[in-house]
Amino acid sequence: MRNLNLGILAHVDAGKTTLTERLLYAAGVIDEIGNVDDGNTQTDSLALEQKRGISIKSAVVSFVVGDLTINLMDTPGHPDFIAEVERVLNVLDGAVLVVSAVDGVQAQTRVLMRTLQRLNIPILIFVNKIDRSGAQYEGLLQSISERLTQTIIPMGSATGLGTRGALYTPHTAADADFTSGLVDLLADHDDALLAAYVNDEAKVSYGRLRGELAAQTSKDLVHPVFFGSAITGAGVDSLTAGITELLPASGGEADGPVSGAVFKVERGRAGEKIAYVRMFSGTVRTRDLLRFRRDEEAKVTAIRVFDRGSAIQRDAVTAGQIGMLWGLGDVKFGDAIGTKGTAPEGHYFAPPSLETVVVPSSPATKGSLHVALTQLADQDPLIDLRQDDIRQELYVSLYGEVQKEVIQATLADDFDLNVTFRETTTICIEQPVGTGAAVEIIDKEPNPFLATVGLRVEPAPVDAGVEFRLASEVLGTMPLAFFNAVEDTVKETLHQGLYGWQVTDCTVTMTHTGYWPRQSHAHQGFNKSMSSTGADFRSLTPLVLMSALEQAGTRVYEPMQRFHLEIPADTFGATIPELARLRAVPQTQEMRGASYVLDGELPAARVHELQQQLPALTRGEGVLECAFDRCRYQQVGGKIPTRPRTDNNPLDRKEYLLHVMRRV
């Protein structure tokens, strides 16, 4: 049996979950199609999802078509839950991008398409809701070509648009326009096909064209487009056939080395961790001792594998499959499974740009709140839980206000904790301006620690993150554990820079080392007052690093959002000054009939203000779409925003040593 791990992605309300229900129904997995509004769908199982009628968590279901087992991942469409989409991208063999025939291509649709293409994930496009009033065909194909990708081929035609009887008819070899369009599209990537067609088009069979279509779709070179209705079932059989014919099945050898990735972590009824794992190679069996992070190992106590609609208890999960593993108590999202595990390659979407303080209704529940938020952060690491020990406050990162409401409801429903939130603020970043260096020598004032640490901080290219290096002269000068202590502390310390924001895009080089070896007084045991320990290096590193960073200097940058704005042409003069006041940066602008269309970037902190001003500026006719793509930041002008520190403040040596030495 072959396996295909398939993602269903779309902008909110395009019909992903309903399409999932229809595919399961067509495959015989369910006897009745659930309804999102009624809260009885297979993948929206959370009480909060059923109550709100939206997908909040990604969910996995399975069905079989012929000899192919399809593990289908239904993902949220609301941009506040883009982290759930990001988590499944690493495990997909292919994707269906759903577009509403009524609403068309939206901001989130474009973000998802660009990301899928960046990762070379094969994509089929399904235009849903052809039975709804206002459904489009030709105009929507044009919009998809202009705003998503030009390499599309409509796989059939739709009739009766906007009526309950709307139908979809797949193209066949008899459709001359379709075969001609196939040749034109495929020949752009296949010179041999073009030459054969030019020499004798009769010798280029329809079977060859379909085979080449599958090959190029699998390479993410072309993107077949299907139309239909998940509600009525129109076109869904053709989409299913396209999934099995055009998307590549999973690879990997069952008897190869164990390799997999954890793409989701949730908790069972007893609070135990359950790891969702995509296996790329090898086989994991119950009672196997499994490595999943550096030297972390644990015994697998139970396994479930997705099969025909649900997760079934099995003795093993093998290459190409998705399994749920019990027993990995310390496992986290992103962990690589096995000795040759495959970890996710970082973030594909912009990180959360907002944060807020979570305030418990009763001070007595602060401890319980911290435990609850820690569990939520295990499931969604981008929450980025931060604790301010000095002010006794808990911070969480957010994509938007809807996510805040969901966290509040989850804490109330699952943990019986009532909370409120402070005002949401924007998360900025810091980047070093120049180069700075500092060093503190062991047994030399003012250094109170038994360690020598020298560090140099330098700017790095945009999106480079933080890189820790060792200067050639320090290699092998002290035990590896001390180097690891410095590296880990450097990366932890840079979560808060000179203005309190995370420092990124820099290189930190260790230039000086020194330690006292393990020793003691005569005839006595080990004496840590005479010997260097990891704690010495962990305590000293923040002082040295922040001193070097102060010398280098940093600038603060704020997150930007892409915007697409359509306004009546006669309101252009009133709108442009407001965009300038909000520091928006239009990049393209054009007239389309009686409308003016602008695309550009806008500081994330100003999006809400523009949304409020737009109706008055455009007589209520302006349409604004905003979305995050990859990380894009712009230097803050004017007063530099600061963020309260939650560490022991190594920028204030006296305060820092007071806290650290007291702790020691």
Q: Band of the pLDDT at 51, cuts 50, 70, 90?
A: low
CATH hierarchy code of domain 354-424: 3.30.70.870
Task: Answer whether residue 130 shows pLDDT above 80.
Answer: yes
pLDDT tens per residue across span 415-450 = 999 999 998 888 999 999 999 999 999 999 999 999
Q: Give the fold, CATH level 3, of 430-552.
A: Ribosomal Protein S5; domain 2 (3.30.230)
Task: Answer whether residue 133 shows pLDDT above 60.
Answer: yes
Percent of the chain scoring above 70 in pLDDT: 92
Distances (CA, A) of 461 to 431, 432, 645: 10, 11, 26
Mean pLDDT of 234-241: 96
Mean pLDDT of 468-484: 93
Mean pLDDT of 298-309: 89
Q: Please name the residue that has the structure tokens 């049996």.
A: 1
Mean pLDDT of 36-50: 57
Task: Answer whether residue 628 shows pLDDT above 70.
Answer: no
391 contacts 449 by C-beta, under 8 angstroms: no
Residue 285: how many CB atoms within 10 A of its CB?
14
Percent of the chain scoring above 90 in pLDDT: 52
Mean pLDDT of 173-193: 90
Task: Answer whether residue 379 shows pLDDT above 60.
Answer: yes
C-alpha 406/C-alpha 84 separation (Å) is: 14
Question: What average pLDDT is seen over the chain?
Answer: 88
CATH hierarchy code of domain 557-631: 3.30.70.240
Backbone angles phi, psi at 55, to 5 degrees: -85, 130
Reference 614, options 656, 650, 652, 563; nearest CA is: 563
C-alpha 22/C-alpha 233 separation (Å) is: 7
- DSSP 3-state assignment of 660? helix
518 contacts 531 by C-beta, under 8 angstroms: yes
Task: Answer whether residue 581 shows pLDDT above 80.
Answer: yes
Task: Answer whether residue 206 shows pLDDT above 80.
Answer: yes
C-alpha 518/C-alpha 538 separation (Å) is: 17
Reference 128, options 249, 5, 21; nearest CA is: 21
Q: What is the largest CA-CA distance in the chain?
A: 96
Task: Answer whether residue 83 shows pLDDT above 80.
Answer: no
Task: Answer whether residue 34 shows pLDDT above 60.
Answer: yes
Identify the weakest region by mean pLDDT among 206-220, 300-314, 449-463.
300-314
Residue 592: how many CB atoms within 10 A of its CB?
9
The residues spanned by each domain of the chain are 2-246, 259-337, 354-424, 430-552, 557-631
Q: Provide the pLDDT for residue 6.
A: 95
Q: Provide the pLDDT for residue 300.
A: 94
Q: Give the fold, CATH level 3, of 2-246.
A: Rossmann fold (3.40.50)
C-alpha 340/C-alpha 370 separation (Å) is: 35
Mean pLDDT of 51-66: 78
Q: Provide the pLDDT for residue 86.
A: 80
Task: Answer whether residue 310 shows pLDDT above 90.
Answer: no
Q: Provide the pLDDT for residue 55.
A: 67
Mean pLDDT of 124-150: 95
Q: Band of the pLDDT at 476, cuts 50, 70, 90?
A: confident
457 contacts 510 by C-beta, under 8 angstroms: no
Q: Provide the pLDDT for residue 451.
A: 96
Instruction: Name the residue with higher pLDDT: 184 or 547.
Output: 547
Q: Provide the pLDDT for residue 503.
A: 97
Q: Provide the pLDDT for residue 448.
A: 94
Task: Answer whether residue 374 shows pLDDT above 60.
Answer: yes
pLDDT tens per residue across span 274-296 = 999 999 999 999 999 988 876 67
Highest mean pLDDT among 155-164, 377-386, 564-573 belongs to 155-164
Backbone angles phi, psi at 513, to 5 degrees: -140, 160
Q: Give the fold, CATH level 3, of 259-337.
A: Elongation Factor Tu (Ef-tu); domain 3 (2.40.30)
Q: Provide the pLDDT for residue 195.
A: 83
- DSSP 3-state assignment of 87? helix
Mean pLDDT of 529-552: 94
- Residues 46, 47, 52, CA angle at the centre, nearest 5°? 100
Instruction: Name the residue with higher pLDDT: 79 or 496.
Output: 496
The token pair that represents 521 in the structure block? 């007084």
pTM of the prediction? 0.77
C-alpha 483/C-alpha 478 separation (Å) is: 8
- DSSP 3-state assignment of 52? helix
323 contacts 305 by C-beta, under 8 angstroms: yes
C-alpha 116/C-alpha 89 separation (Å) is: 8
Same fold, 354-424 and 557-631: yes
